[in-house]
Amino acid sequence: MEELQKTAEKKIENQVIAHLNEAFPTKINILSEEERRQFIQRGVVEARKYGIELSFDVERYLHVMFGISYDFEKSPHNSWIIPILEEDTFTTEQKLDQLEGHALLSGALE
C-alpha cells in the first residue's frame, strides 16, 4: 500500500512540475529538480491542512502558491490568504477561486 501511495505522489509531482514549467517557465528554472519536488511536497501538505485533497484542486493550489511566492501563506504581504483558506463556509472550489482571483488582481498570475 505504501508503495502505491509513493507512486501516486510521484505522479502528482510530475504533473505539477510539467504544469509549472508551462505556466512559469522562467521562474521555475531558478529551482533545481530537488527544490521543485520539495516545494510541491510542502505545498501538498499545506493544501491538505486546509481540506484541499483532490489532485486537480491541489494542482490549482500549487499554481497559485507558486505564482504568489514560495512561502505565500507565511509572508506578511499575503495576510489575506489565511482567512480564505480557513473560511469553513467556503467549499474547496470557492477557496481556490478566491485565491486565484486575488492573485490575478495583484498581477501574480496571468
pLDDT single digits (tens) 15-34: 999 999 999 999 899 999 99
Question: Whole-angstrom Cα distance, residue 82 to residue 9?
Answer: 25
For the beta carbon of residue 96, count every other beta carbon within 10 angstroms. 24
Q: Whole-angstrom Cα distance, residue 14 to residue 65?
A: 17
The pLDDT confidence band at residue 87, using thresholds 50, 70 and 90, is very high
Boundaries of every domain in the chain: 2-106
pLDDT, mean of residues 59-68: 91
Q: How many CA atoms lie within 13 A of 14 on its CB side?
A: 6
Question: If pLDDT is split at 50, 70 and 90, which confidence band does 2 have?
Answer: confident
Q: How confident is the model at residue 1 (pLDDT cuts 50, 70, 90)?
A: low
Proportion of the chain above pLDDT 90, given as a percent: 60
Neighbours of 103 (CB within 10 A): 20
Nearest CA-CA partner of 44 in 63, 27, 20? 63
Looking at the whole model, is its pTM more than 0.75?
yes
What mean pLDDT, rounded, does the chain reach?
Answer: 89
